[in-house]
Every structure is written in structure tokens, then in C-alpha cells.
Amino acid sequence: MAGSINEATLLGNLGKDPDVRKTQEGKEIVTLSVATSESWRDKSTGERKERVEWHRVVIFNDALAGIARDFLRKGSKVYLRGQLQSRKWVDQSGQEKYATEIILQGFNSVLVLLDPKREEASRPVSETGTSQSAGDNDDLDSIPF
């Protein structure tokens, strides 16, 4: 059993096109701004209310970064799973700043595109870039049961 778990799962929409940057070594890093929303009815007024939460997602995984770069756009609906990571730094004016991000890197990261018009790219992609769909296995007919 694991000593601890750090996992964040989102289902939401991109608020803007992915931001693609390259490190000095040429590795792509993609940053997403994902909105999730919660709605409820106010008990005292009966009015419908909604709260939108914005999440910063940083993709270091090469395969997932390529998928995000090529297929995601503002408004795209995505399902993703990664790890929460907080960091702090001092800005140019000497103020301490903090940020909490969802990081997609490693084998346990998931990015699923849910837009119907991009159906061919909607299967989960693992770190190796291979689809995780059961229909991809041609050996199923040879199973003896």
C-alpha cells in the first residue's frame, strides 16, 4: 500500500488556447487554463447560482504535450488526471508569490479530449503515446475463451 496519494482529477473546458513553450533543451512544456464550474439553487431566493474555478495545468509528458498542442483549443472539453504541486518564488518587487498547479508527467497522467468533433483523438494516451483503448489489441480473437 502506498504511503500517500497525490492525485487531482478535472473535467472542464479550456479558457484559452494552450500555451506551448520550449526549454533550452528543446523539450515542450504545455500550460492549460481549465475551468470547472459548480452550480446550485440559492435556498432563500430560489435563484440559480454558479461558481467557476480556474485551474493551471502544466504538461511535461511529451506524448500528452503533443496531443494538447495539436488538438486542444479554447473551449475544448477535457478530462485529465495529474498531481498537485505548489511552488513559491520571489517576484521582481521582492514579494513572495505562491502557485498551485496540476502537473501531468509520468505514467500515471491522463488527458482525454471529450470534443465530439475530435473523436479520433479522444482516447486516453499514456506516457508512451499509445492509446489505452481495448479495441487496439488485434490478438483478442486468439483468446481461447
Element housing 134 (H / E)? none
Q: What is the average per-residue pLDDT within 36-47?
A: 94
Residue 142 lies in a domain: no
- Residue 124 is predicted with a pLDDT of 54
31 and 103 Cβ atoms separated by less than 8 Å: no
The model's confidence at residue 78, banded by pLDDT at 50, 70 and 90, is: very high
The strand pair at 8-14 and 19-22 is best described as unpaired
Residue 57 lies in a domain: yes
Q: What is the average per-residue pLDDT within 102-131?
A: 70
- Residue 140 is predicted with a pLDDT of 47
Q: What is the CATH number of the domain that holds 25?
A: 2.40.50.140
Residue 133 lies in a domain: no
Mean pLDDT of the chain: 85
Which structural domain, as residue segments, surrounds residue 22? 8-113
Residue 136 lies in a domain: no
Integer CA distances (angstroms), 108 to 10, 13, 54, in order: 14, 21, 23
Integer CA distances (angstroms), 140 to 15, 95, 124, in order: 41, 59, 20
Residue 132 lies in a domain: no
Number of domains in the chain: 1
- Residue 75 is predicted with a pLDDT of 96
Q: What is the average per-residue pLDDT within 85-98?
A: 95
Residue 139 lies in a domain: no
Q: Could you tell me how many residues make up the chain? A: 145
The model's confidence at residue 36, banded by pLDDT at 50, 70 and 90, is: very high
Model confidence, pTM = 0.75
Residue 40 lies in a domain: yes
The model's confidence at residue 58, banded by pLDDT at 50, 70 and 90, is: very high
